[in-house]
Amino acid sequence: MMPALFVRNERLRLAMLPDQVLTTLPTEQRLALSYAPAASQGRLAALFALDARLASVVRSASEPMLAQIRLAWWRDRLKGLAAAEAPAEPLLQFIAQADVSADALIPLCDGWEMLATADSGTAVSALAGLADGRASAVAALADAEHRQEAQRAGQGWALADLAARLSNPAERNAAIALAAAQDWRRPALPRSLRPIAVLHALARRRHDGRPLLSGGGAIPLAMRVGLLGI
């Protein structure tokens, strides 16, 4: 349970983001976003919200082909965001307002499609592909100088997050093994990507299948990295 004062401060820092976006995000992502500068908060929130929506698409589809069809719809709509007509889907409206390019977010569609169509023989490569897709979306929001570090940080967070959320034991163990092989050095990221630094720090501390915010030291760690970057 987060302290009441901390929760109030978090809500104040996230006041500019719509509730329909925030309510879809895991607690650690909302926490991380609260340390984003105003100029980059919307872009990162758009990335996290789309990732959550695509995860829901894959989770709720009764067959892989249905997931592919829905993921293709999202891919096509992202590519069409530059069209003059405003999208009807609220999340797409938010993404358009956040000024995130389709090139930055389409790797999320590709990564979730890999997982949706994986079988027992391709599960490990699909998990790695999804982590790569998430990391590529994070890296696309960084400037050229920090892109490689953003990719590495995004990949570490992505794998630790998957390890904590997958219900299939074999897939969870594969994600844990992939996470254990990551380079967990603290990434050198700009202030605009402070939420990614927070998530990476939480993932570095806990990438064994347990929730990223589990244990007594998670909130102090997130606050320190969020405020100081270290």
Per-residue H/E/C for the chain: CCCHHHHHHHHHHCCCCCHHHHCCCCHHHHHHHCCCCHHHHHHHHHHHHHHHHHHHHHHHCCCHHHHHHHHHHHHHHHHCCCCCCCCCCHHHHHHHHCCCCHHHHHHHHHHHHHHHCCCCCCHHHHHHHHHHHHHHHHHCCCCHHHHHHHHHHHHHHHHHHHHHHCCCHHHHHHHHHHHHCCCCCCCCCCHHHHHHHHHHHHHHHCCCCCCCCCCCCHHHHHHHHHHHCC
Mean pLDDT to the nearest integer, 194-205: 98
CB of 187 closer than 8 Å to CB of 149 = yes
pLDDT at 85 over 50: yes
Handedness of CA 188, 192, 196, 197 (dihedral sign): positive
Q: How many CA atoms lie within 13 A of 225 on its CB side?
A: 26
The pLDDT score that the predictor gives to residue 4 is: 45
Handedness of CA 168, 170, 171, 175 (dihedral sign): positive
pLDDT at 100 over 90: no
CB of 221 closer than 8 Å to CB of 202 = yes
pLDDT at 227 over 90: yes
- 188 contact partners, CB below 8 Å, separation of at least 6: 146, 149
pLDDT at 6 over 60: no
pLDDT, greater one: 118 or 5: 118
The pLDDT score that the predictor gives to residue 16 is: 67
Q: What is the mean pLDDT of the chain?
A: 91
Mean pLDDT to the nearest integer, 57-71: 94
CA distances from 93 to 49, 96, 100, 102, 158 (A): 12, 5, 11, 13, 25
pTM over 0.85: yes
Kindly indicate whether the domain formed by 4-228 is annotated with CATH number 1.10.600: yes
Where along the chain do its domains lie? 4-228
pLDDT at 208 over 90: yes
The pLDDT score that the predictor gives to residue 132 is: 97
List pLDDT tens digits, range 31-44.
999 999 999 999 99
pLDDT, greater one: 178 or 10: 178
- 122 contact partners, CB below 8 Å, separation of at least 6: none
Alpha-carbon distance of 199 to 173, in angstroms, equals 20
pLDDT band at 20 (very low <50, low <70, confident <90, very high): confident
pLDDT, greater one: 169 or 7: 169
User: Tokens standing for 160?
Assistant: 């630790």
pLDDT at 210 over 90: yes
